[in-house]
Structures are given as C-alpha cells and as structure tokens.
Amino acid sequence: MSDSADAPAPVSPQGGAGTEQWKERGVVKRVLLYVVGAHLLAALLWLFFLIGAHAHK
C-alpha cells in the first residue's frame, strides 16, 4: 500500500495556479496596485491642500 497522501501534488508543466511563477506574478500585481493607490491618495491629499491654500477666507 502506498502513501499517496504524503506525496506532493503534481504541478502542471504549463504553469498554473500554485506555481512559483503564478505567485510571483500575484505579488507583483499587488505591489503595483498598492503603489498606484498610494500615489492616487497622495495626489488627492495634495489637491485638498492646494484648494485649501487658495480658499478665500
């Protein structure tokens, strides 16, 4: 009787979900999303300060 539960699952040679390349691509996408989001938030805050500085008091 073989212990098939202990053997690692076969990985598709084409590179699907679960491969290192797939995980790296996910990390890169997430980092780019966070960087773009942070810059958009910073631009919005900068715009608020710009408008506030030119407000007539």
Specify if 3 maps to a domain. no
Query: Alpha-carbon distance 30 to 50, whole Å?
Result: 30
Specify if 51 maps to a domain. yes
Query: Alpha-carbon distance 18 to 9, whole Å?
Result: 10
Collapsing DSSP to helix, strand or coil, 49 comes out as helix
Q: Total domain count for the chain? A: 1
Query: Alpha-carbon distance 10 to 21, whole Å?
Result: 16
Specify if 6 maps to a domain. no
Residue numbers of the domain that contains 53: 22-57
Specify if 46 maps to a domain. yes
Indicate the pLDDT class of residue 56, thresholds 50, 70 and 90: confident
> What is the amino acid identity at position 3?
D
pLDDT tens-digit series, residues 3-32: 566 766 665 556 677 889 999 999 999 999
pTM of the model: 0.61
Instruction: Give the model's pLDDT for residue 3.
Output: 59
CA dihedral 35, 37, 31, 10 (to 10 degrees): -170
